[in-house]
Amino acid sequence: MWLDYWNNSLVEDSEYTALIGAAIKEANMFVALGVTEKEAAGGSLFCSLFYFNCRGHLIGKHRKLKPTGLERYIWAEGGSDSLLTFNTDIGRIGGLICWENYMPLARTAMYQKGIEIYLAPTADTRASWQSTIQHIALEGRCFVLSANQYVTKSDYPSRYHDDVQNQPEILSSGGSVIVGPDGEILAGPLWNEEGLLTAELDFQVLYKFKLDFDVVGHYSRSDIFKFNVPGQPDISKG
């Protein structure tokens, strides 16, 4: 099973990544794609978020800093060099993966880069995750987009049907959602079906809601608290 998983993981510089990029270029979209990444040399795997600009170019990637629980058997750890944000034509974009969003200093590393569109892909379908996403939006005064998978037993390859036969038909019920900087739900959450969530984002409200709270601005106490992330890149143009 491990070898099957490894063989189906994605190498950054590969024909498959190029095919994905070509499809993104045709769609003319900025895309953040969750992948299981493998290095061209070596056996380590990473839980990664690949960022493609609208020209289909892979402009950077984030590797999950700390695999959660039993994920540590499978995935290696990412470093501060992948705590990326991108200054794009549609806003400053960055994100963290699943439960690394529960790491307060990792979130702060995103906030101090001026993040406006905060991505939080996850596999957590619990109601508490929805509260987490709203908290991040309120704390960072940013838009939060959290995508989760909708998975059924039939999605598994036939060779694994015996392994999931005693599981419920829906293995992951989704819960993708878009939240505004005031914590209000703009779209979703989407449960128990495939679908596409859209929302129109008004960036003026980001400044409006920072009037009373700016976690890395006037509501911080830099004279008391010192925070630095060695190796974190500067905001780059996407």
180 and 237 in a single domain? The answer is yes
39 and 133 in a single domain? The answer is no
Instruction: Enter the pTM of the model.
Output: 0.94
Helix (H) or strand (E) holding 236: strand 236-237
d(CA 17, CA 15): 5
pLDDT tens for the 238 residues of the chain, in order: 889 999 999 999 999 999 999 999 999 999 999 999 998 787 789 999 999 999 999 999 999 999 999 999 999 999 999 999 999 988 999 999 999 999 999 999 999 999 999 999 999 999 999 999 999 999 999 999 999 999 999 999 999 999 998 999 999 999 999 999 999 999 999 999 999 999 999 999 999 999 999 999 999 998 999 999 999 987 665 5
> At which of 23, 43, 78 does a domain end?
78
Split into its structural domains, the chain has a count of: 2
Are the C-beta atoms of residues 175 and 130 closer than 8 Å to each other? yes
98 and 173 in a single domain? The answer is yes
Reduced 3-state DSSP string for 63-107? ECCCCCHHHHHCECCCCHHHCCEEEECCEEEEECCHHHHHCHHHH
pLDDT for residue 236 = 67
Domain range spanning residue 129? 85-238
Are the C-beta atoms of residues 104 and 66 closer than 8 Å to each other? no
42 and 90 in a single domain? The answer is no
pLDDT for residue 41 = 80
Reduced 3-state DSSP string for 164-221? HCCCCCEEEEEEEEEECCCCCEEEEEEECCCCCCCCCCCCHHHHHHCCCCCCCCCCCC
Retrieve residue 220's tokens.
């911080």
156 and 204 in a single domain? The answer is yes
pLDDT for residue 176 = 97
Are the C-beta atoms of residues 123 and 147 closer than 8 Å to each other? no
pLDDT for residue 199 = 96
